[in-house]
Amino acid sequence: MKQQGAHPEDTEGNPDASSRPDTADRRPTDPDNAHIDEVEGDEPLLPARVHRPSDLMRLLGGILAIVLLLAIAAFAHGTTSGLEQDITKGTGQAPDLLIKIAGLASSIAILLVPVAFAIERLIKRDGLRIADGVLAAVLAHGVTLATDLWVARAAPDSIQEALTQPSPGDIHALTDPVHGYLAPVIAYMTAVGMSRRPRWRAVLWIVLLLDAFSMLVTGYTTPFSIILTVLIGWTVAYGTLYAVGSPNVRPTGRTLMAGLRTVGFRPVTASREETPEAAETGDRGRRYFVTLEDGPPLDVTVVDREQQAQGFFYRAWRNLALRGFATRSSLQSLRQALEQEALLAYAAIAAGANAPKLIATSELGPDAVMLVYEHTGGRTLDSLPDEEITDELLRDTWHQVRALQSRRIAHRRLVGDAILVDRSGTVILTDLRGGEIAAGDLLLRMDISQLLVTLGLRVGAERAVASALSVLGPDTVAGCLPMLQPIALSRSTRGTLRRLARERAEREREAVLEASRQSRPRAEDDADDTHHVVLEKAEKKAVRAEQRAEKRAIDEALDEAREEDLLAQIRHEVLRIRPQAPVEPARLERVRPRTLISFIAGAIGAYFLLTQLTHIEFGPLISNAEWGWVAAAVLFSAGSYFAAAMALLGFVPERVPFARTVAAQVAGSFVKIVAPAAVGGVALNTRFLQRAGVRPGLAVASVGASQLFGLGCHIIMLLAFGYLTGTEKTPSLSPSRTVIGGLLTVAVLVLVVTSVPFLRKFVVTRVRSLFAGVVPRMLDVLQRPQKLITGIGGMLLLTACFVMCLDASIRAFGDDTSSVSIASVAVVFLAGNALGSAAPTPGGVGAVEATLTVGLIAVGLPKEVAAPAVLLFRLLTLWLPVLPGWIAFNHLTRKGAL
């Protein structure tokens, strides 16, 4: 058996077990070598260290516990004082002799125990663990020194009182907040893994309790100080282990062969059933093909701690984001994983399904287990060529799933590599490790939807649905439609669907560009017949004819190139049989990433605003407010909706009612609250134009052109007002350092994007798609100068209305001495509006308020005026329009305009 470095491993074999010669009769030629471990080839050398997610979770848990302890000490001063008095009173009744013995024993043992364990590890040649422990002890000592310094100089008095008390030897001195020797010892013991050995763990706890008892009784510490010391040592130890990694303890090939002998087998050779790269990227365990001296070959699955931890963070997020019935445990123990896979294997066979037969299980040391199956052979569905996937094979696959579901067994991973086809063409369901018994209806329906997509990716939606209908029946298949959504599918399936979606979008863009190129010569030929009139009129007609031909060609190319995604195709195939089947997706998500980000950003913004408002007395401020300026701010806010309608209609050559467009912009005030500003407004305007008779592609292009012109105007105005702000207080015309810094930053970003191939390709792809749709729409608008003037004028008027509204809000709460120039107000608004559009929160809540307040204070406005002015501005432009926006949204919906 070959060995590489410190980790001799089993071997990489042929993944297609069916192509092997019959190995059942293989015998060693030399009877004296019957028990030699023979492993074909070698796997890549395993990393010496691995970063375990469990260490990271313990690190985060320790940090959270420290923060919670300090918060209790800071805000529950009465409770902590009473607790300390009760403990002091209780320990004070201990006999003096017991106190002296405990103190002497703990002082000696606290040093001897780590040394003894280190000697024991060195004898067993495990010096790496000792090195990890020493590093953790040094770091813990540094953290204790920093904590002592912080408590002595900067911590609140309540925390200092909870962690220290007058020293018994010197009443003018205080005890240490953290024990400088105890925290390093705890970090050392944890890092070297002493807690995983029962005898050493018992000694460790006895020593710690004796030391804590003696320190409390003699008055050299407090209960909170002891708890903080233990938490610091524990947290630093796991932080060190995660940073440097833990020694890799995966079982070697020799360990596997020895484990097989312990359960009664006589192995001869072993080889890997899949590539090492595939095994390292999943949590399914490593699979081996093992030949025996006497008997048929075996399939062995080895699961170790490192393999099991693969995908931990992904599963943890799924557990947080999805409802309980749609997830499984993010991190099981090895014993739980072994028992679950064994239970599923026996249950599947009892249900009548074809599944690998489990014949033995065993532990391979403390960090791995193995499951021994009868050899099945065959190829996975992913490796089968298309011509071998017959209708009979598809029906056989559904028969196996029906057998599982008849006993309420959910497979949970019906992807291509979990479906095996043996030499006789029989379908075998493998990889039952993540399944579930006594499953609910939703899990069973998720299995059906997953298998529909898996088969649809290979044979198309029509054959996949037809085979399911022939075995399960129309009602069962139709009941899975609410589960037919990406979130309910496996990770690999979602990745495949995303890749196919990108390919479809690329084909559509190529079709549009090709149609645009081919339509121009034809349009020029058609335009030659119009030269019988005046030359100028003929040229105009030729241009219009070319534009119409190009639009018609683009629309036809889009219609021809547009393809339905696989999920939509499956739905349509099922609805042909059951038109009344429910298609509304079931709610599987508990929380969405956008909701979580919005909550965090909103909390940060709310915290910032509350800290600013706590120092403001609103009573006198409101009584002294200039209500004339408040009325002016209201008028400017109302005028912004007319300006927004002008800015949109200026880029729509078709006739759209102006009043209804204004109502749509009012409805956008309601949409902004339930979606980010940069997303909700675009979607609403696109929908409105489509309902107004504009073609979908042209509606998207019009909104895109409006957004593009708006971005350009926004940048130009920001630079212009920034220039004025920098020069208004100086006689020279040199721009401010802020403008120069901004231009340099933009230049650096441009250089970075153009120099990095990935970023350059990303930008070029997006710009190309932009020129495919938005730029032709701009050319249409340029043919009508009055439309272009309306659009640009509306954008300038929209910005002016918002700037004047903010300026009026400032003047409503400040006098002449506290007001700032209109140029400064414009710069602050433009910066805050840009940040609000980029923020993921609905309406930019939190981000806009914080930016506007900080900006107004930076340009010289007092905080007592800036905070209420920003609140009034946001009240008029965001919150008060919500009710009219809701009314307008419902009205337009009833009228069919949205």
User: Apex CA 753: angle with CA 759 and CA 838, to 5°?
Assistant: 80
* pLDDT at residue 532, as a whole number: 45
User: What is the chain's mean pLDDT, rounded?
Assistant: 75
The structure tokens 């710690």 sit at 208
Instruction: Name beta bridge partners: 291.
Output: 269
Q: Within 13 Å, how many C-alpha atoms sit on residue 819's CB side?
A: 16
Residue 492 has pLDDT above 50, yes or no: yes
d(CA 318, CA 86): 45
Range with top average pLDDT, 407-416, 520-529, 667-676: 407-416
Q: In what order do the strands lie in the sheet with 427-429?
A: 379-380, 419-421, 427-429
Q: Considering the chain, what percentage of its residues have pLDDT values greater than 70?
A: 64
| Residue 384 confidence class, pLDDT cut points 50, 70, 90 | very high
pLDDT digits (tens, 9 = 90+) for 33-87: 434 445 554 444 556 677 777 788 888 888 998 988 888 877 665 555 555 555 5
Residue 166 contacts residue 174 (beta carbons within 8 Å): yes
| Beta strands at 368-374 and 298-304: parallel, antiparallel or unpaired | antiparallel
Which of the listed ranges 105-109, 124-128, 274-278, 502-506 does the model predict with the highest average pLDDT? Answer: 502-506
Task: Work out the end-to-end distance of the chain between its first and last CA atoms, rounded to an integer number of angstroms.
Answer: 72
The residue that leads in pLDDT, 230 or 5, is 230
> What pLDDT does 19 receive?
37
* C-alpha dihedral (234, 240, 243, 246), degrees to nearest 10: -90
Tokens of 15: 């993944």
pLDDT at 622 over 60: yes
Q: What is the pLDDT of residue 426?
A: 92
Confidence band, pLDDT 50/70/90 cuts, at residue 516 = low
Overall pTM surpassing 0.85 (yes/no): no
Position 508 scores a pLDDT of 75
Q: What is the pLDDT of residues 546-557, one digit of tens each?
A: 666 666 766 676
pLDDT tens digits for 586-611? 777 766 665 665 566 556 555 555 55
**Cα 496 to Cα 532: distance, rounded to the nearest angstrom:** 57
pLDDT at 24: 36
What integer pLDDT is reported at residue 374 of this predicted model? 92
Helix H, strand E, coil C: the string for 796-830 is HHHHHHHHHHHHHHHHHHCCCCCCCCHHHHHHHHH
Residue 28: predicted pLDDT: 38
pLDDT tens digits, 567-583? 989 999 998 888 888 87
